[in-house]
Amino acid sequence: MTSFDLHSEQDRFNEECAVFGVYGSLEAHVLTALGLHALQHRGQEATGMVSFDGKQFNSYRGLGHVGDNFYAGSPNLEALKGHVAIGHNRYSTTGLSEVRNIQPFLTELAFGQFSIAHNGNLTNAERLRTSLIETGSLFQSTTDTEIIIHLTARSHHADPIERLKEALMQITGAYALVSIVDNKLIGVRDPMGIRPLVLGKIGTAHILASETCALDIIGADYIRDIAPGELVVIDEKEVSSQMIAAQKPSRFCIFEYIYFARPDSTLEGRSVYQARKQIGSELANETAVPADLVIPVPDSGVPAALGYAQASGIPFELGIIRNHYVGRTFIQPTDAGRTSGVMMKHNANQEIISGRDIVLVDDSIVRGTTSRKIVMMMRAAGARKVHMRIASPPTTNPCFYGVDTPDSDKLMAAQMSVAKMCKEIGADSLAFVSINGLYRAMGETSRHIETPQFCDACFTGDYPIKEAFSPAL
């Protein structure tokens, strides 16, 4: 989901989200609350749920974490009973943290009520929104998701699902959608399958979720990933499937494996944890350096550091301890806030660090704030040498498909060489895994130049969707 900054012409996307849906359980609201809780890492700013009990739609949307809004005995949750429910977690770093932008949206169209929730970003949103507004649409939110509602409303098809399909034909970008239409649960993935969506089952109920960790929490069985360009319709009889677009080569977001997804999830047949360990192992093979200890930057660097330690034979130690009661570094919207966030979050385990040559492993460098602080912290704790190793290639390009990244002018690797970055963060050496090393970690022999197996635009600038917001296209 994207927000439009109504005060700026050239809006930037700043949202990452989670979606979840259930059909066929009288506990649909409880399962959705639990699923959203498991997906909290994908969005911490706001949460919402819409349910349908056969007669009536119910909706609740609130700022804050899932547990702040949906808890045992919470009246919000009690009011959401129904046999079908969808939910959403929202993450935003813009100033548009408004209740009107919280999903799922619930709206009244010609055929009845319609609810939708979205993870991803539409790349032709600005053009569509402008043309819809010029021709009379009244927008209630500043999100791109609402465009899908207006396009569905304008379709002349009699069948509500055909109307939604007509809307989907007009959008481009990255999306994993869940929707309640005509007493059915719908799930859709964009034609390149950039954002994840999986199908599961518990008893007779079917589940849609951004990641498999949300199936685990409710004891549901994983059935399969929704395919790129696939739309599934789930009702009491069946799960039916159709393709909304000619299938394009899959370009799943490689950053889901590097950082974004939970390590206990399996996406597109790959364990996120194993992928991260394997990246660490490639990193060790490519960037070996003599050292006493391998230290992960917790939590995101842990599996890669383990892989690095196993491949290099250098002992693994927890040299940095993380305080878990502070949100992700990115949550604070100002630079000052992010800086203090790093200090609040991590502390050196001095006993382990002092007098040692260490290899620090993190998943990525974005602005360089974390690396700078952590290297300084390691030196203050008495480290002799600090070698920084990064389990992704340099992040040189912003994401336009649903992962929060700043513009190029704030991306450290877009602004300077690796040697200069090393100097800036104060490390003795700095090295990143290569793009082919990353692909090898994914089980590929190398990155295919013509049609890469993943979306890796943040590292290569090779944007798979040739639409607005893809620079120089």
Site for ligand AMP contains 94 (CB under 6 A) = no
Residues whose CB falls within 8 Å of the CB of residue 379, separated by 6 or more in sequence, listed in order: 386, 426
- The footprint of ligand AMP on residues 303-342 (CB under 6 A) is 328-330
Q: Which residues pair with 233 in a beta bridge?
A: 186, 240
Our CA angle for 30, 212, 452, nearest 5°, is: 145
Site for ligand AMP contains 422 (CB under 6 A) = no
Distance CA 434, CA 436 (A): 5
List active site positions.
Answer: 17
Least distance between ligand AMP and beta carbon 367 (Å): 3
Least distance between ligand AMP and beta carbon 329 (Å): 5
- The footprint of ligand AMP on residues 279-298 (CB under 6 A) is 297
Residue type, 396: T
Least distance between ligand AMP and beta carbon 328 (Å): 5
CA atoms within 13 A on the CB side of 34: 17
State which residue, 115 or 369, has the beta carbon closest to ligand AMP. Answer: 369
Instruction: Report which of 438, 405, 402, 434 is spatially closest to residue 270, judged by C-alpha positions.
Output: 438
Least distance between ligand AMP and beta carbon 270 (Å): 19
State which residue, 14 or 51, has the beta carbon closest to ligand AMP. Answer: 14
* SS3 state of residue 47: strand
- The footprint of ligand AMP on residues 367-396 (CB under 6 A) is 367-371
Least distance between ligand AMP and beta carbon 88 (Å): 18
- The footprint of ligand AMP on residues 61-90 (CB under 6 A) is none
Strands 252-253 and 239-243: unpaired
- CA–chain centroid gap for 472, Å, is 25
Site for ligand AMP contains 365 (CB under 6 A) = yes
Site for ligand AMP contains 300 (CB under 6 A) = yes
Which stretch in 69-77, 185-193, 360-368, 434-442 sits in contact with ligand AMP by CB under 6 A?
360-368
Instruction: Report which of 97, 35, 31, 19 is spatially closest to residue 64, judged by C-alpha positions.
Output: 97
Distance CA 289, CA 323 (A): 29
Least distance between ligand AMP and beta carbon 146 (Å): 24
Instruction: Report which of 277, 410, 231 is spatially closest to residue 338, judged by C-alpha positions.
Output: 410
Torsion angle, alpha carbons of 228, 233, 234, 237, to 10: -130
Site for ligand AMP contains 45 (CB under 6 A) = no
Residue of 103, 142, 212, 364 that binds ligand AMP (CB under 6 A): 364
Site string for ligand AMP, 250-269 (x = CB under 6 A): ---------x----------
Site for ligand AMP contains 366 (CB under 6 A) = yes
Binding site for ligand AMP (CB under 6 A): 259, 297, 300, 328-330, 362-371, 403-405
